[in-house]
Amino acid sequence: MRIFLKKIFKTFIFHAVASHFINGLVPVAVFFMMLTLITANPYFEHTVIHLICISAMTIPFSFLSGIRDWRTKFHGGRAPIFYRKIKLSIILAVLCSAVISIRLAVPDPLAAGGVMGLLYGGCIILALPIVALLGHLGGKLAYAARLGSAEDSDQHL
């Protein structure tokens, strides 16, 4: 067991864990939002806001560990892919914050409908392509790291 733990500690990449955590929660939040709209069951919407809150709490860890990895593994290289990931992370944080703010202001925004309901649902749905792009760019970087160049990962985007 001790050897196993040493191997895990030696190869553990915190940024990968934090970012994959968010990438798993956001699609599930979208799924539960769709269930809410189909069934009109408010308990599904409660799950949506819980998932978005957990994602929002995880974003700073993913963001800061990503910045740390960029500076250490890629020596702070100025490739555009890094700036795209930073911008997308900020957009994701804003979207999640908007969802939480709307939910705090309007107890059941999907049932209430109107502009707030559309904004609430829109922010949740927009988070899905953002996490997909973040994952795609992260995969390109991981692949480029194996090849040895972050610039190579940016040529095919």
**Residue boundaries of the structural domains of the chain:** 13-146
What residue has token string 């973040």?
A: 134
Percent of the chain with pLDDT over 90: 70
Task: Give the C-alpha separation, 94 to 49, whole Å.
Answer: 15
The structure tokens listed for 113 are 């409908």
Confidence of residue 149 (pLDDT cuts 50, 70, 90): low
pLDDT (0 to 100) of residue 150: 53
The gap from C-alpha 103 to its chain's centroid, in whole angstroms, comes to 19
Long-range pairs for 87-90 at CB < 8 Å and ≥24 separation?
Answer: 88/130, 88/133, 88/134, 88/137, 89/59, 89/62, 89/63, 89/134
pLDDT (0 to 100) of residue 2: 85
Confidence of residue 144 (pLDDT cuts 50, 70, 90): confident
Q: Is pLDDT of 65 > 70?
A: yes
Task: Give the C-alpha separation, 35 to 60, whole Å.
Answer: 29
> Helix, strand, coil: what percent of the chain each, to 5?
85, 0, 15
The structure tokens listed for 128 are 């899905």
Average pLDDT over residues 38-49: 95
Q: What is the largest CA-CA distance in the chain?
A: 57
Q: What is the pTM of this model?
A: 0.87
